[in-house]
């Protein structure tokens, strides 16, 4: 049985039915008593649209219904929404807008459901604007465009009230500003152009006024507290009701007005600026200053410059203080200068610890402040104190805490910590090669005279220096420590050798330390005429050493040796601890009661300078083992000496030291000589790799290569002289 044919619906008839449904929806939105749509209601309305759109032409009313859909919104907005908005102002208008926008979205949702068949077929085939977008566009064109200025002003007025401390309805602002975002239909143009730009302008003006007042009234810390609070509040404002995209722009405006515009007067405030905060150790305020100015382009540069100046001044003051202390010492207390230098290095270490903590904690390890700290310490760490270079001071400091009888009385952990800090300070010293030479000299004395307190500490600092300055820097020092270990093995073997050959026993306990020439500092050697007892010792050891190796030559450095001599005085015998030279001189008096100066020089075969030092230590110092004629405190070629048999002392063993020799000049000369070789080698390396190079480029690259070990300022003329020689050599090759 065939179905009945569907009745054709006229436009007027169909739209009249739809109008009833739309009117019911409007009444619901306006809060009038009206029952909600039932599923039957919805189906009837949807079916009516479906039927009117699927009728055969000319009864397909799709286009007309599409137009009617838009007209429904326009009529409702014009008759109901706009009048209600126009009669309200400020916050009341905002509340009405939020309600109307909420209603409008409900209306769009329901009508787009009723007309959904249009969206599915007619609109997609004709590429027309979707129904939902049509509905929202009506609101934008008819309502938003008219009242957006009033809305913007009302919102900004509420924000300014909140900035002044008043309570506002944040939820209301959130809903209003969501309209600016949603009305853009996926674009942020409406929010940015119609609201955000005006907010940013208002923010600029608001904080400009505040900053002008605060900079005059408040101290730097108080100003920064206010600025930080303002930034915090603005950030919270974004979280509560502004769009997230506004955060960075808003904060930049606040930072610019409060900080960037007043950076110089704020940081340079006389009694509370950056310098005053550093002077008074205001760690919390400095941390706040870093947090604030790190957000501004190049905002940290002036702070790092002030930090650098402050640290430089602090360090320079310590140098001056040490200079004053050294110069105020009486001549007879010159030996106390060493203690002043020790105190000075401790103070520099404390200063470094303090400002490293500042860089780490207050300035969060920012590279600008690491650079400022480095440059500041390089200024005063390369200044000498009482004629001693900083390289020598650091080497002496290490020597004092590493040798036995250290006056500091430090624990092992404290020594390790101190050594670590000294190595850090070494990074600021330009003449690292000078430090290496001084340290090597002092290390040699500790090792050779058994003055080193702990082998572990010796190896530890070498490891630290190696990490800081490279393997080449410590290779000789490591060789010295290894030599001592090997030397102990040699000594054990020598004792076994002597025990196995009783006929070779010299009758004297002999200990020999064999060193590798390249590792140790250079020492003067003399062909001293040794006493027969000592000659026999030397011969026995040579015979032993030849059994160990036949390809090495021994060079005896008697100036580094020590002897224990039993001296028989009238009162009692006393054991004298003397150097090999002193022992050789004293043993001369076993064969003669009196000897003249010239006889001693002839028999010992030493230089006049060395003989004068030896005789002075034995006849003019604290222990007068020899009597001299005339009995004064200076040694002259006409003096005559005899053994002082009446000498006595309360101790049974005494050490007779030699007058100290200032090796500083020799160390500096040796380093200068090594630098010349280093410059020479550097130029050869550069020219071999480059073949041809301009003079200025060569100088620059040479200085760059050598700057890791020393500052190539005094050697510039040397480079000029060497340039032609080495460049021509390489070119000829």
* Share above pLDDT 90 across residues of the chain, in percent, rounded to a whole number: 24
Rounded Cα distance, 103 and 85, in Å: 13
**479: nearest Cα among 439, 515, 449, 445:** 515
pLDDT tens per residue across span 460-517: 888 988 888 888 888 888 888 888 888 888 888 888 888 888 887 777 888 888 888 8
Give the pLDDT band (50/70/90) at residue 407. low
Position 215 pLDDT exceeds 80:
yes
State whether residue 569 is helix, strand or coil: coil
Position 216 pLDDT exceeds 60:
yes
Which pLDDT score is estimated for 665?
Answer: 64
Other beta carbons less than 10 A from residue 673's beta carbon: 10
In 607-698, at which residue ranges do the beta strands (DSSP E only) sit? Answer: 626-629, 640-643, 653-655
pLDDT tens per residue across span 41-95: 888 888 888 888 887 888 777 888 888 888 888 888 888 888 888 888 888 999 9
Which pLDDT score is estimated for 2?
Answer: 44
Which pLDDT score is estimated for 38?
Answer: 82
Euclidean distance between the first and final Cα of the chain, in Å? 115
Mean pLDDT of 632-659: 86
8 A C-beta contact, residue 248 and residue 199: no
Position 673 pLDDT exceeds 80:
no
Which pLDDT score is estimated for 155?
Answer: 93
Rounded Cα distance, 8 and 2, in Å: 18
What DSSP state is assigned to residue 579? E
Which pLDDT score is estimated for 248?
Answer: 92
H helical segments located in 522-594: 532-548, 580-587
Which pLDDT score is estimated for 728?
Answer: 36
**H or E stretch at 299:** none
Position 443 pLDDT exceeds 80:
yes
pLDDT tens per residue across span 618-635: 888 888 888 888 878 788
Rounded Cα distance, 577 and 579, in Å: 7
pLDDT tens per residue across span 588-603: 888 888 888 888 888 8
Which pLDDT score is estimated for 403?
Answer: 85
What DSSP state is assigned to residue 452? B
Contacting residues for 222 by C-beta, under 8 A, at least 6 apart: 214
Mean pLDDT of 189-205: 92
8 A C-beta contact, residue 62 and residue 126: no
Give the pLDDT band (50/70/90) at residue 371. very high
Token pair 């470094």 is at which residue? 352
Which pLDDT score is estimated for 336?
Answer: 41
Give the pLDDT band (50/70/90) at residue 26. confident
Q: Tell me what the pLDDT averaged over the chain comes to.
A: 84
CB-count exposure of residue 264 (10 Å: 0-12, 13-18, 19+): exposed
Rounded Cα distance, 28 and 37, in Å: 10
Mean pLDDT of 569-579: 88
Which pLDDT score is estimated for 287?
Answer: 94
1-5, 119-123, 228-232, 368-372: least confident range: 1-5
Give the pLDDT band (50/70/90) at residue 292. very high
Mean pLDDT of 198-203: 94
Q: Which residue has the higher pLDDT, 678 or 496?
A: 496
Q: Would you state the structure tokens that stand for residue 86, as one six-digit string?
A: 């126009």
Rounded Cα distance, 689 and 682, in Å: 11
What DSSP state is assigned to residue 409? -
pLDDT tens per residue across span 125-179: 888 888 888 888 898 888 888 888 999 999 999 999 999 989 999 999 999 999 9
Position 357 pLDDT exceeds 90:
yes
Position 415 pLDDT exceeds 50:
yes
Mean pLDDT of 669-698: 74
Position 358 pLDDT exceeds 70:
yes
Write the CA distances from 664 to 387, 396, 539, 671, integer angstroms: 10, 12, 35, 11
Which pLDDT score is estimated for 41?
Answer: 83
Rounded Cα distance, 527 and 557, in Å: 10
Contacting residues for 369 by C-beta, under 8 A, at least 6 apart: 300, 304, 307, 358, 359, 363
Other beta carbons less than 10 A from residue 479's beta carbon: 14
Give the pLDDT band (50/70/90) at residue 531. confident
Strand 573-579, strand 594-596: pairing = unpaired
* Share above pLDDT 70 across residues of the chain, in percent, rounded to a whole number: 91
């Amino acid at each position: 049985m065939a179905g009945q044919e569907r009745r054709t619906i006229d436009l007027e008839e169909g739209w009249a039915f739809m109008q009833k449904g739309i009117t019911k929806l409007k009444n619901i939105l306006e809060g009038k008593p009206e029952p909600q749509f039932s599923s039957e209601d919805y189906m009837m309305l949807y079916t009516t649209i479906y039927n009117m759109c699927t009728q055969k032409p000319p009864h397909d009313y799709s286009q007309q219904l599409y137009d009617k859909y838009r007209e429904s919104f326009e009529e409702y907005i014009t008759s109901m929404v706009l009048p209600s908005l126009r009669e309200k102002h400020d916050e009341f208008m905002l509340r009405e807008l939020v309600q109307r926008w909420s209603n409008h979205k409900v209306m769009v949702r329901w009508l787009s459901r009723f007309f959904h068949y249009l969206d599915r077929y007619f609109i997609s085939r004709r590429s027309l604007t979707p129904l939902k977008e049509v509905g929202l566009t009506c609101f934008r064109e008819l309502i938003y465009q008219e009242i957006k200025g009033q809305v913007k002003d009302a919102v900004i007025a509420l924000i300014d009230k909140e900035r002044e401390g008043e309570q506002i309805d944040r939820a209301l602002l959130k809903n209003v500003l969501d309209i600016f975002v949603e009305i853009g239909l996926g674009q942020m143009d409406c929010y940015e152009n119609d609201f955000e730009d005006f907010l940013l302008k208002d923010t600029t003006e608001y904080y400009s006024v505040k900053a002008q007042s605060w900079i005059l009234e408040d101290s730097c810390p108080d100003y920064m507290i206010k600025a930080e609070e303002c930034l915090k509040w603005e950030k919270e404002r974004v979280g509560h009701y502004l769009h997230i995209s506004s955060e960075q722009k808003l904060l930049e405006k606040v930072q610019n007005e409060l900080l960037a515009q007043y950076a110089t007067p704020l940081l340079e405030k006389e009694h509370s600026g950056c310098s005053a905060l550093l002077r008074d150790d205001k760690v919390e305020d400095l941390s706040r200053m870093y947090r604030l100015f790190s957000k501004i382009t190049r905002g940290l540069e002036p702070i790092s410059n002030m930090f650098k100046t402050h640290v430089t001044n602090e360090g320079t003051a310590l140098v001056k203080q040490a200079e004053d202390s050294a110069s105020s010492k009486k001549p007879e207390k010159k030996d106390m200068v060493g203690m002043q230098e020790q105190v000075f290095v401790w103070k520099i270490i404390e200063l470094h610890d303090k400002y490293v903590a500042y860089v780490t904690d207050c300035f969060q390890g920012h590279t600008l402040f690491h650079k400022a700290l480095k440059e500041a310490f390089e200024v005063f760490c390369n200044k000498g104190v009482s004629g001693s270079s900083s390289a020598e001071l650091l080497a002496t400091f290490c020597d004092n805490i590493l040798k036995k009888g250290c006056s500091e009385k430090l624990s092992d952990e404290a020594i390790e910590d101190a050594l670590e800090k000294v190595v850090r300070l070494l990074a600021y010293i330009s003449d690292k090669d000078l430090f290496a030479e001084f340290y090597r000299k002092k290390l040699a004395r500790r090792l050779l005279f058994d003055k080193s307190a702990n082998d572990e500490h010796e190896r530890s600092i070498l490891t630290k220096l190696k990490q800081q300055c490279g393997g080449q820097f410590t290779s000789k020092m490591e060789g010295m420590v290894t030599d001592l270990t090997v030397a102990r093995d040699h000594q054990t073997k020598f004792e076994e050798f002597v025990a196995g050959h009783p006929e070779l026993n010299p009758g004297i306990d002999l200990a020999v330390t064999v060193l590798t020439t390249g590792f140790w500092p250079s020492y003067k050697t003399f062909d001293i005429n040794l006493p027969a007892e000592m000659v026999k010792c030397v011969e026995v050891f040579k015979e032993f050493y030849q059994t160990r190796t036949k390809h090495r030559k021994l060079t005896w450095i008697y100036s580094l040796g020590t002897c224990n001599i039993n001296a028989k005085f009238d009162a009692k015998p006393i054991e004298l601890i003397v150097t090999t030279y002193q022992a050789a001189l004293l043993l001369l008096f076993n064969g003669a009661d009196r000897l003249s100066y010239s006889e001693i020089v002839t028999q010992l075969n030493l230089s006049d300078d060395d003989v004068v030092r030896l005789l002075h230590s034995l006849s003019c110092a604290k222990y007068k083992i020899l009597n001299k004629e005339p009995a004064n405190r200076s040694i002259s070629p006409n003096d005559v000496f005899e053994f002082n048999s009446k000498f006595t002392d309360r101790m049974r063993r005494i050490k007779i030291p030699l007058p100290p020799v200032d090796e500083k000049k020799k160390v500096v000369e040796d380093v200068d000589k090594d630098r010349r070789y280093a410059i020479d080698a550097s130029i050869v390396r550069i020219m071999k790799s480059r073949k041809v190079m301009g003079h200025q480029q060569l100088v620059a690259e040479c200085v760059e290569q050598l700057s890791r070990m020393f500052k190539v300022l005094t050697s510039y003329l040397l480079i000029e002289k060497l340039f032609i020689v080495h460049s021509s050599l390489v070119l000829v090759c």
